[in-house]
């Protein structure tokens, strides 16, 4: 499956993930615990989005296994 994302789309996704990561951090500060697997999954996804090529850059292959 191939998905073409523009720079604005990737930026929006990164922004939303960053907000959710911050929210999870606030919950952890307030209650003293959080779902770390959820937190690290979001950080990993955000990192992959930051590394994703945008329009005009060389295309890099992201396999389905890399996204799992």
Q: Flag whether pLDDT at 11 surpasses 80.
A: yes
Q: Pick the more confident residue, 20 or 3.
A: 20
Comparing CA positions, the residue from 19, 23, 15 lying closest to residue 49 is 15
Going along 1-68, which residue ranges are E strands? Answer: none
Q: Which long-range contacts (CB under 8 A, 24 or more apart) does 13-16 make?
A: 13/49, 14/46, 14/49, 14/50
> Has residue 19 got a pLDDT over 70?
yes
Query: In this model, does residue 66 exceed pLDDT 70?
Result: no
């Amino acid at each position: 499956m191939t998905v073409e994302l523009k720079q604005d789309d990737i930026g929006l996704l990164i922004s939303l993930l960053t907000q959710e990561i911050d929210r999870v951090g606030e919950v952890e500060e307030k209650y003293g615990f959080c779902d770390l697997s959820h937190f690290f999954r979001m950080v990993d996804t955000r990192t992959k989005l930051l590394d994703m090529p945008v329009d005009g850059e060389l295309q890099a292959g992201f396999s389905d296994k890399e996204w799992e």
